[in-house]
Amino acid sequence: MLESVSFDQLRMFVASADEGSFSAAARRVRRTQSAVSEAILSLEAQLGVVLFDRAGRYPRLTKEGVVLLADARAVITGVDAMKARAKGIAGGLEAELTAVLDVFLPIEVIAEAAREFRIQFPATPLRLYVEALGGAVQPVLDGRASFGVVGSLPTLPTGLIKERLFDVKLMMVAAASHPLASYRGIIPKEELARHVQLVLTDRSTLTEGRNIGVMSPSTWRLADLFAKHAFLVSGLGFGGMPLHTVARDIAEGRLAELSIEEAPPGGLPLPMFAVYREGEPPGPAGRWIIEHLKKCSEGVAAKEGPRAC
């Protein structure tokens, strides 16, 4: 009966296949050889399949045994992962870590943090959302995310705690072929108002009725930063972009920095904050990511913003 297959039987099956003999498997699982042999025989009877060919000096997996060995390994791995996760939960570790990240956060920083996170917390699944403006805050307010990293929303709602991480340079740019790119000197607001501005749209309602960073009455709104980048390069308008996303385009002549009022040359520093609900700080895994991101401030390059840290 398949219902009576035990976890010990599967462990002994895998150990026998890995070690190449029942005696070596017995030493590995700290059982007697007779106990291992009996467990394998019982498993074969329950499955209705011969797992090992015992004709030679050492047992060899049958074709059926090779196929079922992969299933046995998967079961053992799953149970071990469940045990590790349960142990972490009992100690306060999140069963799953969900975070929402501002689209202005450099992707290299996210990838590096995720790589290190997998090493530090192998049993904790990671779920990340990338949003702009209020979209990077709403999941935190709703309780769908443990914490968020926010930069593009200038004013935070009440009920949130924030911790400063690092700055990202925000630069106003346009295609090298755009009329604004050839303007000499500081571009006045009246001139900007004559051109289409490409702006990110907010998928939440937190900025409803507000025009954040809008300098022209003529706007095209996009919900994706990569789409905005493509539109800028195509000369469809001007707009603000994180410096790390356009530095290469500027260097290679596809985009040009625009000199505008109230914006220093080289980009405006935009603070990035980790935010979470009052009285509900992130658990150990979330706290680890926040502290890891804080280290990025140590590697901020003057012209390119934070890199992988």
Output the 3-class SS for 110-153: HHHHHHHHHHHCCCCCEEEEEECHHHHCHHHHHCCCCEEEECCC
Which CATH number characterizes residue 158's domain? 3.40.190.10
| Domain endpoint, select from 64, 91, 118 | 91
| Same domain assignment for residues 278 and 130 | yes
Domain limits for position 69:
7-91
What are the DSSP calls for 14-51, one per residue? HHHHHHSSHHHHHHHHT--HHHHHHHHHHHHHHHTS--
Q: What CA–CA distance (Å, rounded) separates 65 from 44?
A: 10
| Same domain assignment for residues 200 and 233 | yes
State residue 199's pLDDT score. Answer: 92
In a domain, 56, yes or no: yes
| Same domain assignment for residues 212 and 280 | no
Which CATH number characterizes residue 72's domain? 1.10.10.10
In a domain, 307, yes or no: no
Query: Using CA of residue 178, residue 184, residue 189, residue 193, what is the dihedral sign?
Result: negative
Q: Angle 7-19/22-29 helices, nearest 10 degrees? A: 130
State residue 110's pLDDT score. Answer: 87
Q: Kindly tell me the burial class for residue 175, based on how many C-beta atoms sit within 10 Å of its own C-beta (0-12, 13-18, 19 or more).
A: buried
| Same domain assignment for residues 82 and 156 | no
Which CATH number characterizes residue 221's domain? 3.40.190.290
| Same domain assignment for residues 53 and 182 | no
| Same domain assignment for residues 128 and 172 | no
| Same domain assignment for residues 55 and 109 | no
In a domain, 308, yes or no: no
| Same domain assignment for residues 162 and 108 | yes
In a domain, 1, yes or no: no
| Same domain assignment for residues 16 and 145 | no
In a domain, 247, yes or no: yes
Strands 97-102 and 147-150: parallel
| Same domain assignment for residues 292 and 212 | no
In a domain, 130, yes or no: yes
Its pTM stands at 0.65
Per the structure, the count of domains in the chain is 3
| Domain endpoint, select from 59, 91, 123 | 91
Per-residue confidence in pLDDT tens, the chain, 309 aa = 566 788 889 989 998 998 899 999 998 888 999 999 999 999 989 889 999 999 988 899 999 999 999 998 888 877 766 775 665 566 667 888 999 999 998 888 889 999 999 999 988 889 998 888 878 888 898 889 999 999 877 677 777 888 889 899 999 999 999 999 999 889 999 999 999 999 988 777 666 666 677 889 999 999 889 999 999 999 999 999 999 999 999 999 999 999 988 778 888 888 999 998 877 888 888 889 988 988 875 444 434 455 555
In a domain, 216, yes or no: yes
Q: Answer yes or no: are the C-beta atoms of 167 and 287 closer than 8 Å.
A: no
| Same domain assignment for residues 258 and 287 | no
In a domain, 263, yes or no: yes
| Domain endpoint, select from 35, 69, 91 | 91
| Same domain assignment for residues 277 and 158 | yes
